[in-house]
Amino acid sequence: MPTSGEYSLDYVGGSALRYADWSDSDVDAACTRWASQKMTIRWVRGNRMHTVDGLFEEFAAALQFPWYFGWNWGAFDECLSDLGWIDFSSFVIILRNAEQVLLDDCLDLPAFLRGVLDAYEVFAHPIDKGEWWDRPAKPFHFVLQISKEASHRWDLALDKVRTDFRGLSLSKEGQSVVWLDGCKREGETS
């Protein structure tokens, strides 16, 4: 069960990914809390994303990707790192049933994570060029509803993309992800 401190995602930085071993009702409670904090929340369903095409369809619908979305990883990265059509000051994407994502296209999980980490990095920095598209840094969080037992596949995929993001702090604790319930897995350090 989430604690009130685990609901606090209204800041820039911290961990790019957050695992949450929560029930559906816990996720709903977290979404209610984040909505009360004026955060923009979108959730996507892992059971609809067994394939790359399913993942693109689910994200395009949930985030209302523009008509020109190209249905490939480059276009996905570009749209996820832009979101200019959504007015938000802080953003949370909840990936429900994350253990089901890309089960039929498992070799694409690192490409998906690259897109998520790219977006996190883009939103973590302000744009200040004296143009109409300038914006401050914005909190952008990606929460995976997943059991500790099922998270190993995600950890392996994250290890594959870690070298691409050497300058990016993937978490406050120096870990790839932070468990929102505060529990440490065997072998983790603070």
Confidence label for 20 from pLDDT (cuts 50, 70 and 90): confident
pLDDT value at 117 more than 50: yes
pLDDT value at 19 more than 70: yes
The DSSP 8-state label assigned to residue 95 in this structure reads E
In a domain, 95, yes or no: yes
Note the pLDDT of residue 103.
Answer: 94
Residue 44 near residue 96, CB atoms below 8 Å? yes
The amino acid present at 54, given as its one-letter code, is: G
In a domain, 169, yes or no: yes
More confident residue, 32 or 170: 32
Calculate the average pLDDT of the chain. 82
In a domain, 174, yes or no: yes
Say how many domains are in the chain. 1
CATH number reported for the structural domain that contains residue 95 in this entry: 3.30.370.10
Q: What pairs with residue 20 in β-bridges? A: 145
Q: How far apart are CA 135 and CA 16, in angstroms?
A: 20
pLDDT value at 188 more than 70: no
The DSSP 8-state label assigned to residue 185 in this structure reads P
State pTM to two decimals.
0.81
Confidence label for 55 from pLDDT (cuts 50, 70 and 90): very high
In a domain, 52, yes or no: yes
Q: Is 93 helix (H, G, I), strand (E, B) or coil?
A: strand
Which whole number is the average pLDDT over 77-102? 94
The domain of 64 spans 12-179
Residues whose CB is less than 8 angstroms from the CB of residue 3 and which lie 6 or more positions away in sequence, other chains included: 182
CA distances for 181 relative to 24, 25, 68, 79, angstroms: 15, 15, 39, 30
